[in-house]
Each structure stands twice: as structure tokens, then as C-alpha cells.
Amino acid sequence: MRIDQSDSTTTDTSLPVDDASDTAAVEPDADVCVLGLGHVGLPTALLAAQEHTVVGVDIDQSRVDAIERGDLPMDEPDIDQLYERVAADFSAQTTVADADVYVIVTPTPVDAERAVADVSYVEAAAEMIAPTLSPGDLVVLESTVPPGTTERLVAPTLETSGLSRSEFRLAFSPERASPGETLTEMVENSRVVGGIDEESVDAACAFYDSFVTGAVRRTVPRVAEFVKLVENTFRDVNIALANEFALVAEELGLDVHEAIDLANEHPRVGIHHPGPGVGGHCIPVDPNFLSQHTTRDRLVSLARDVNDSMPAHVVQGVEDLLDGDTDATVTLLGAAYKGGVGDTRRTPTRTLVDLLAGLGVDVRLHDPHVDSFPVDPEPLAEAVAGSDCLVLVTDHSEYTALDPSELGEVMATKNLYDTRGLLDTPSWEAAGFEVAVLGDGRTQE
């Protein structure tokens, strides 16, 4: 269902934006139902189970079965130990359970044809809750959505229960967590809670206070929805700026990494480093939700274009190293979208695989954190043997320990393209490699 932005419903912006205080208590043994057991929903459910009785709901029976036997479908520090601690108060199933608190953490992908948010999963979750909704129950939407979704889609869907929105509590509160640090950040980072009325804000703040140590800020739903999109769009634009600096530095024969490090010593400058593209569930997606209902998004849309263009720029750099030899073998080092994790959601490596394969190149892959991918990851020795070019894609710390002399002995041709500026270029050159670094024009002259 597409949200009708022409709806005449207005948002009450009179609620104070402040720390939560004097909120109505949520009982420690409250019944909580979390809908969506993905990268955010499952950790949320387990953290809440420290203080409440929690039922996690997912429509994927295989996922539910795996979670029930303790085989958690995500690689996150300390999550297995947390599961063991709360197992007595947590269960997973495919149907919604009667609860005091419902938390919606379903996916919100981009509809590829219309380039707008697909909120059908959110709507389906609200439809599942409606038959069990009772007066005074709290529903919290955590899924990232366009501003207005909580009030214009979720609220009326819940009202199909026969209750008016004044009879239940409804709020929006986005997570702030990064893969590899999810549990720590979910607990320690501040939260923004936007409720449709004071009672909703009070109830939602009290719920998060039960397992969040960071500040819990109070506002209205549209502001909270907007905040989430602003946060991730800021990062996308910052990365795009760094990527554009990299392209300019290559033309000028300068090292953008050195320049950025020096610029960031300025107390009011904080530039990200460039890379082969932007991955993950949030940053490549959320700016689209911000721009889909406005004509004033020129910088936001341009940043998306810049970041989406980086894999093609990398492939051009690889072609230059190979002197146009499309019969070559190229080894990609890294499938995950960021270092230290096995998360491959929207990773630029997928695009690199497709672009290189489209040239006729034989593509191999290695990643110490990833077991499965469209191109099967191989042990390092097998992935490198006979290769004509290594492409460092993911900034895994393990790659800083690579021995260029040892790898060079088994390669057909010694070429290296470093998309992260992670490796020590002089040591690779000393081992006989021709090296190109994204953003370092000195290595490409």
C-alpha cells in the first residue's frame, strides 16, 4: 500500500523533545511480541527478554525453527550468550501472540519499479496485530519508513481491530546499531521515540528504559521517522563527497587518503574515506525514502548516483591494470559490505562480480567472514592461485596481514587494486606488484 501524502491528517508537533522522565511504568514481566526476526528484530527481542516475556514472530518457518534450536541466523558478538541467558523467557513462532507490547521490525525495501518504499511488510505486520490488540496495548514501529507512515498507514490498520487510536498506544522508534556492534549500540545509544500522543510516548519510553541505558528522547512520529532518514542520508552524502574527492585526486595525481586525514585534523571537519560503493541495509536505501515525496532532494539524489557509480569506476581501474585482457582471472578480496562482519546486504561486491563477469573475466572470491555468496568463496590459496589481479574490496583487518611475496609466487600476474587504501603500497610494490589505489592518483600515473 502506498502512503497517500495528500491525506489531510496533520501531525501534532506540540510534544516536547526531551529526555524521558516520569513515564508510566511497563511491568518487568510484560508480554512482548516482536514481529520480524532479522538483523534488528532478533537482537531487540533478546534484549527485551532480559526484563519481559518475549515471543518473536517471523513468517519464515525455517528461520523460526533455527532460532528455536539456538542456531541463530546472524553472526553478532555475544548474541549466542544472550540467547542462552534469556532462553526461558523467549520463544519464536510464525503467528502473533497476545501481548502488552508489540514491536514491528519488518523489512522496508525499495520498490525497484517505482523507486519508493515498499511498506507492505509493515502493513502486513499491523494487520497481524489488529485481531489481538486490546485497549491500552502499545505498538512500536521500528522499521525505517517514509515520514507519515506511523500515522497514515499503521494507525488506521490497527483501527481495523475496532479500537480507535485513542484506545491503544502507538509510537515510532528507529534503532541505531551497526553490524558487529549491534547489542552494545542497541543498549548504549540514545533512542528517539515519537508517539501519537503523550500516553504513547510515555509507554514507549518506559519500554525502552527497561533495556536501554542511553538517553530516550521524546518527540512526535514524523520527526522520529525523519530523524532516521536524516542520519543515514548524512552518511551517504558524506561518503559520496569522499568518493568525489577520490576521483578528483586521481586526476590531480594526489593521494586523497593523506589529504582527508590532514583535513580531518580541523576541529570542524569529519570526512569519511572513499571506497568501492555503499552497502548494508540502511545507507543505500534510506535516502530514497527521504526523497520519494519531494522535488527538493538534488544533493541527496546526486549522492546516491555518485556512490552507485563507484563499482564501475573500480572495474575501469582493474581493466587498466590488466591492459584490457578480458581472459584474465580476477580475485576479489571481500564480499561483506564492511570490515569485520559477514553481512553482505547490498554489498558493492555483488555489482563488481556482475560487471567483471560481463567483461568475460573469470571472477574468484575470498572472504574470511562469509560462507556463501553468488560466487562461492574459496580459501585464500585457491582464490589467488593463477590470478592476474587482486582487488581489495572489503576492509577486513585480516587483509592487512597478507604477505605480498607469498601471494605473488602463486599468481599468474602481479596486479593489485586497493579500493580502500588499506594495504601498504610500498611493500606490495617491493614484491613486484603493480599497484593502483582508489583515490591515490600517484599510483595511477
**Catalytic residue positions?**
228, 282
Tell me which amino acid residue 160 is.
T
Query: SS in 3 state form for 250-303?
Result: HHHCCEHHHHHHHHCCCCCCCCCCCCCCCCCCCCCCHHHHHHCCCCCCHHHHHH
For the purposes of burial, counting CB atoms within 10 Å of the CB of 132, is it exposed (0-12), middle (13-18) or buried (19 or more)?
middle
CA-to-CA distance for 188 and 213, rounded, in angstroms? 5
SS3 state at 92: strand
Q: Are strands 110-111 and 116-117 parallel, antiparallel or unpaired?
A: antiparallel
The sheet carrying 90-93 orders its strands as 90-93, 53-57, 31-35, 101-104, 138-141, 169-172, 191-195, 216-219
Chain-centre distance for alpha carbon 397 = 20
Q: Are 200 and 138 in contact (CB under 8 A)?
A: yes
Q: Where are the alpha helices (DSSP H) in 137-220?
A: 149, 155-158, 182-188, 198-209
Q: Would you state the cell numbers that stand for residue 135, as one nine-digit string?
A: 485497549
Cβ neighbours around 363 below 10 Å, total: 19
Q: Would you state the cell numbers that stand for residue 279, as one nine-digit string?
A: 552497502
CA-to-CA distance for 49 and 322, rounded, in angstroms? 54
